[in-house]
Amino acid sequence: MKRTTTYMSAFAAVALTLPALSQDTAADAGTLSKSKADQVQGKRPYSPYADRNFPSRPFFGDTHLHTGFSMDAGAFGCTLTPRDALRFARGEQVMASSNQPAKLSRPLDFLVVADHSDNMGFFTDLLAGKPEILAQPMGRKWYDMIKSGKGADAALEIIGQFSQGTFPKELMYLPGTRAYKGAWQETINAAEAYNEPGRFTAFIGYEWTSLDKGNNLHRNVIFRDNADKASQIVPFTCYPPMGSINPLDLYKWMEAYETKTGGSVLAIAHNGNLSNGMMFPVVETFGKAVDGDYAKQRARWEILYEVTQTKGDGEAHPFLSPNDEFADFETWDKGNLDASEPKTNDMLAGDYARSALKNGLKLEAKLGTNPYKFGMVGSSDAHTGLAAMEEENFFGKTTPQEPSPERMHASFMDNPKTGIKIMDWEVAAAGYAAVWAQENSRESIWDAMARKETYATTGSRLIVRFFGGWDFDEADAQTRNPAFAGYAKGVPMGGDLSDAPAQKSPSFLIAAMKDPIGANLDRIQVVKGWLDANGETKEKVYDVVWSGDRKPDADGKVPSVGSTVDVENATWTNTIGAPELITVWKDPAFDAKLRAFYYVRVLEIPTPRWTAYDAKRFGSKPLEGTRMTLQERAYTSPIWYSPEK
């Protein structure tokens, strides 16, 4: 089928009356003939960008950054405030809590300072030695530990007590108290001060810090609104009776906020790899069955999922996807958040995005609603106030992990009771959220998040387009502006296809371009999941376009791109790979009767990991098993297919 692009003429809304032209009319601008006048009044403007009404660039940001206002970040030594974090994200140089200068290679486009909902502002008061805190024995103990140089030990004890529900009630900073309200208001004020539409977006938000006996169920809550609405509430917390760790109660709070203020709010589920199977339940949750109401509420409020961050990657797991040679990437699968319970294989399906997307199809068939119909983003979850996720410029997960000769050899988590130990070198320099919005503003970026026109990156700023439809052809991939065909003939990432035309398979227009200062591209893959005729979930990963002249093997897998990484010198060259890739791909095994989803994974060529840069700069010898290279990647939001509308 021929490409059909609809253009809106700038003249369409204006009635123009011109004199009849029986002969050429001379003017200073030249001779006007009837044929020239007809051209001027034509329906298609010369400029292909005139009246363009779709996003033309992705905006990169972090939806999950902590400052010293978060109890655990402060306990680990973070002294940066929300204002410091916003200054850094805008491109300013700041002094890190470890007393070393820090600056991004390029400013971010947006940031959410998402400090923890519970005990917000507590640690700044603990450090200050407020009398009411020191009057409580545990408060005095933690204060003395910090002052004697045992801040990390105090931090682990504080986090452990909070995660297990044993934190002293007398020390809780609860909503309604002056200290808590003050911390929240300063969070709002900082976002208002640094929000600059058109240049930088500072969202108002927080992290709802649900923990069920150490199992991580956090959600980042992001407001579309300004201070006039956000100031009418305080965050929903987890401690009863005012709070709850049940996500259904968070959804009620979100609905109450919108009803009260007329505002808009969404939630992003935290990377689930430390939930020990609880992030994506399929049978029951908090003692109740996963039913139609649960599915509807979760689908309404949890629009996006944080698929990659510093505490590991959550796209896929090699146990769940044994035929996917790229599934074992920055894997954290030893236990839950506080390492109090080891992970078992039966928990993994409730932790990872690809399995959740597949189980969502099964639940939709049963309940009528897909609770796991989420878009993809990456973010940092850094507790340093620094959204510095580039491998060569990685400032760690917490303040003790900021750059130093020792950080590769230290432990991040060590629980002798369970034997779970995670080393600092296992922390990932990831990630960022990419959003296809029409302008850099709260409203436009939030709206793009709400429609799931987003993708995740593990720290790179590569550009990815992904469209699905029924009529894409090879000609659509032979243009410098594929988005015109993409939006005219299909739906973008996050969209839906249904009711397949007879004898047609879905076609996908897919394009990627390297980060301007990053690595070349290895390949683009399409990950398909579906629900078969027997009600069982299936998956397949397709290599759809790749660099060089490599040939797929008998199973359709493309060989490795190779590597140019010089680990010892922490360098690489772009002499392999491609700066951009584009293709139109059709599903070769489509069945119009079966539910399915498709998302894109883009892989860069191998590059040095942050551990290689540390080894080079500090002269540190890596521990055995330390990963020194990686292939940065991007994951798009899926496009779903449903047999019925």
- Across 329-350, average pLDDT: 96
Q: What's the pLDDT tens digit per position in 314-328?
A: 999 999 999 999 999
Q: Which residues contact 481 (CB under 8 A, 6 or more apart)?
A: 48
Boundary of a domain, candidates 391, 410, 445: 445
Segment holding 492, helix H or strand E: strand 490-492
Which tops the pLDDT comparison, 4 or 556? 556
Which tops the pLDDT comparison, 157 or 101? 101
Nearest to 429 by CA among 374, 386, 375: 386
Does residue 544 form part of some domain? Answer: yes
pLDDT given for residue 33 in this prediction:
44
How far is 462 from 419, CA to CA, in rounded Å?
39
pLDDT given for residue 123 in this prediction:
87
pLDDT given for residue 22 in this prediction:
40
pLDDT given for residue 645 in this prediction:
60
Percent of residues, the chain, with pLDDT higher than 70 = 93
Does residue 51 form part of some domain? Answer: no
Report residue 463: phi and psi, to 5°: -105, 130
Domain membership of residue 540 as a residue range: 462-642
Per the rule left: phi > 0, alpha: psi between -120 and 50, beta: everything else, 99 is left
Residue 66 in contact with residue 115, Cβ under 8 Å? Answer: yes
- Across 188-216, average pLDDT: 96
Q: At what angle do helices 137-147 and 151-163 cross, to 10 degrees?
A: 150
Does residue 131 form part of some domain? Answer: yes
- Across 119-130, average pLDDT: 89
Does residue 453 form part of some domain? Answer: no
pLDDT given for residue 6 in this prediction:
32
- Across 181-198, average pLDDT: 97
Does residue 493 form part of some domain? Answer: yes
Residue 417 in contact with residue 340, Cβ under 8 Å? Answer: yes
Does residue 32 form part of some domain? Answer: no
Instruction: Enter the tokens of residue 518.
Output: 């990053």
Please indicate, yes or no, whether residues 165 and 304 belong to a single structural domain of this protein. yes
pLDDT given for residue 75 in this prediction:
84
Q: Give the three-class secondary structure for 392.
A: helix
Please indicate, yes or no, whether residues 238 and 306 belong to a single structural domain of this protein. yes
- Across 145-165, average pLDDT: 82
Please indicate, yes or no, whether residues 338 and 483 belong to a single structural domain of this protein. no
Please indicate, yes or no, whether residues 416 and 474 belong to a single structural domain of this protein. no
- Across 339-360, average pLDDT: 97
Please indicate, yes or no, whether residues 108 and 191 belong to a single structural domain of this protein. yes
Question: Which amino acid makes up residue 448?
Answer: A
Residue spans of alpha helices (H) in 168-270: 178-194, 227-230, 247-261
pLDDT given for residue 155 in this prediction:
78
Boundary of a domain, candidates 412, 445, 478: 445
How far is 536 from 366, CA to CA, in rounded Å?
12
Please indicate, yes or no, whether residues 392 and 473 belong to a single structural domain of this protein. no
pLDDT at 3 > cutoff 80: no
pLDDT given for residue 594 in this prediction:
98
Instruction: Enter the tokens of residue 402.
Output: 């900021």
Please indicate, yes or no, whether residues 511 and 406 belong to a single structural domain of this protein. no
Q: What's the pLDDT tens digit per position in 455-510?
A: 999 999 999 999 999 999 999 999 999 999 999 999 999 999 999 999 999 999 99
Boundary of a domain, candidates 387, 418, 445: 445
Task: Specify the range with the lowest mean pLDDT, choosing from 36-45, 214-223, 422-431, 619-628.
Answer: 36-45
Please indicate, yes or no, whether residues 364 and 499 belong to a single structural domain of this protein. no
Does residue 452 form part of some domain? Answer: no
pLDDT given for residue 15 in this prediction:
34
Task: Specify the range with the lowest mean pLDDT, choosing from 9-23, 195-209, 235-249, 380-394.
Answer: 9-23
Residue 385 in contact with residue 65, Cβ under 8 Å? Answer: yes
Please indicate, yes or no, whether residues 370 and 477 belong to a single structural domain of this protein. no
How far is 427 from 261, CA to CA, in rounded Å?
40
Per the rule left: phi > 0, alpha: psi between -120 and 50, beta: everything else, 277 is left
Query: Mean pLDDT across the chain, nearest whole number?
Result: 92
pLDDT given for residue 34 in this prediction:
44
Instruction: Enter the tokens of residue 324.
Output: 């996917």
- Across 15-22, average pLDDT: 36
User: What pTM was computed for the model?
Assistant: 0.92
pLDDT given for residue 16 in this prediction:
32
**What total number of domains does the chain contain?**
2
pLDDT given for residue 229 in this prediction:
98
pLDDT at 110 > cutoff 80: yes
Please indicate, yes or no, whether residues 409 and 542 belong to a single structural domain of this protein. no
pLDDT given for residue 38 in this prediction:
52
pLDDT at 141 > cutoff 70: yes
Does residue 497 form part of some domain? Answer: yes
How far is 578 from 514, CA to CA, in rounded Å?
8
Please indicate, yes or no, whether residues 415 and 469 belong to a single structural domain of this protein. no
- Across 143-163, average pLDDT: 83
Please indicate, yes or no, whether residues 290 and 319 belong to a single structural domain of this protein. yes
Nearest to 635 by CA among 541, 550, 559: 541
pLDDT band at 178 (very low <50, low <70, confident <90, very high): confident
